[in-house]
Amino acid sequence: MRHPLHSLRGAGPGVWRVMKDKEQMNDFHGLKLADPILKAIAESGYETPTPIQARTIPALMSGRDVLGVAQTGTGKTAAFALPLLHRLAQSGERAQAGRPRALILAPTRELAGQINDSLRTYGKHLRLRSTVIFGGASANPQIRALRQGVHVLVATPGRLMDLMNQGHVKLDAVEVFILDEADRMLDMGFIPDIRRICAKLPEARQTVLFSATMPRAVRSLADGLLDEPVHVEVASESTPAQRVAQSVRFVDKGRKVAALTGILADEEVERVIVFTRTKHCANKVVRKLAAAGVSAGAIHGNKSQNARMRALKGFRDGRIRALVATDIAARGIDVPEVTHVINFELPDEPESYVHRIGRTARAGRAGMAISLCDLDDRMALRDIERTMRASVPVDDDHDHHDEDIAQARGERRKQGGRGQGRGRGHGKAGGNFRRRARRPARKGARSGA
């Protein structure tokens, strides 16, 4: 199977410093991974390393630190997991109770679970043990798994801190530390926890940091953690998945449910993730869809781990056609056949838009992202377009088009100057994501996830 992102633009000049182009490996055998790992990769159907893998794996195999800018869907999990498994398998040491030799931090339980699943898939012919710990579930089975001894611990920061404080985990044997989705860690306020966790790690270690974007705070975290890292990048900051066909529909808030069910009346909208800003709205949308005869399930922070897993499984199996999710809960979802992403509400953060639409058009399939934009959403839309440096095509060929909102959007554009124009006094804050400071708080905007 050829990964769709083999076609992604590679690193620019100077970004990739370890391998010259002609040396780049185009099959896994060239990467010098142990045979049991190659066997597992072949069984997974992977034929060729993705660009992020071709660049990251040799750097990690040579013992270097890596700073990777890559989104979910690029194959970044295998990029760090394969060399890690190789290293642990080579040394052949036994797993020790509560003293992992590798620590992987991820922002959400879903992502942490998926990373652990990947480790088990790629390491199935090795005698290595991994476990995953996260909040929102009983700690006892996690503590038991730690006591039995693990080579690799995958964790969300909060639960790790708890279990460290209770003496169930010690980080003094960690040789490899991997921080995944660092920008999302930042969004979720985990950076102080991460700094505390890092203070307990041995100085002599290999460190890998992956992030979809590089806001300043992540860059400074990386500077403190990484030692002369190899920089690896497959897509530039804030560039959305280019294979996704995007459109925006201007719809009055009161008509959004009708607009959504209208979209779902089309059978080609087979498997869809509907994004809302809040948990409350996600629940409401599920109820309305169910009333309209659409099988739907919600995943958000108020749902128990079991309920989320059930919804995700139903979605994967095709029993649930519409998965309604908040941004944080949807992080790390990897379902290849998502045909559509619908933004029932636009996200507060332009970055989240990029992450959302990246849930579709995976594994070589086509994908569409439709945003329903009401009067309140239009500033978010403007910020998204400014961040992407591209406008989202307007679709007014539907029953719910609201010309007033379309006009109001045009007005804002003119006031804001052309395209990316910025008003006086805004030019110095730096970075792409500085909207928050200027934007009046939207009622209920940040209450959920």
Q: Which positions touch ligand AMP (CB under 6 A)?
A: 1, 3, 46, 48-50, 53, 72-78, 334
CA max distance for the chain: 67
Burial (CB count <10 Å: 0-12, 13-18, 19+), residue 393? exposed
| Contact (CB, 8 A) for 341 and 260 | no
Q: Which amino acid is at 97?
A: A
Write out the two tokens for 17. Answer: 């410093």
The rounded distance, in Å, linking the Cα atoms of 424 and 96 is 59
**Residue among 36 and 73 whose Cβ is closer to ligand AMP:** 73
| Contact (CB, 8 A) for 359 and 278 | no
The rounded distance, in Å, linking the Cα atoms of 266 and 37 is 43
Q: Which amino acid is at 164?
A: M
CB of 117 to ligand AMP, least distance (A): 10
CB of 218 to ligand AMP, least distance (A): 18
CB of 336 to ligand AMP, least distance (A): 6
CB of 279 to ligand AMP, least distance (A): 25
CB of 79 to ligand AMP, least distance (A): 7
CB of 380 to ligand AMP, least distance (A): 26
C-alpha neighbours within 13 Å on the C-beta side of residue 406: 14
CB of 361 to ligand AMP, least distance (A): 12
**Residue among 98 and 332 whose Cβ is closer to ligand AMP:** 332
The rounded distance, in Å, linking the Cα atoms of 336 and 73 is 9
Q: Which amino acid is at 245?
A: A
DSSP 414-440: HHT-STT---TT-TTS-SS--GGGTSP
**Residue among 145 and 335 whose Cβ is closer to ligand AMP:** 335
Among the listed residues 391, 388, 403, 341, the one whose alpha carbon sits nearest the alpha carbon of residue 366: 341
CA distances from 2 to 44, 51, 211, 297 (A): 11, 12, 24, 31
**Residue among 53 and 246 whose Cβ is closer to ligand AMP:** 53
Among the listed residues 247, 227, 250, the one whose alpha carbon sits nearest the alpha carbon of residue 406: 250
CB of 205 to ligand AMP, least distance (A): 22
**Reduced 3-state DSSP string for 373-397:** ECHHHHHHHHHHHHHHCCCCCECCC
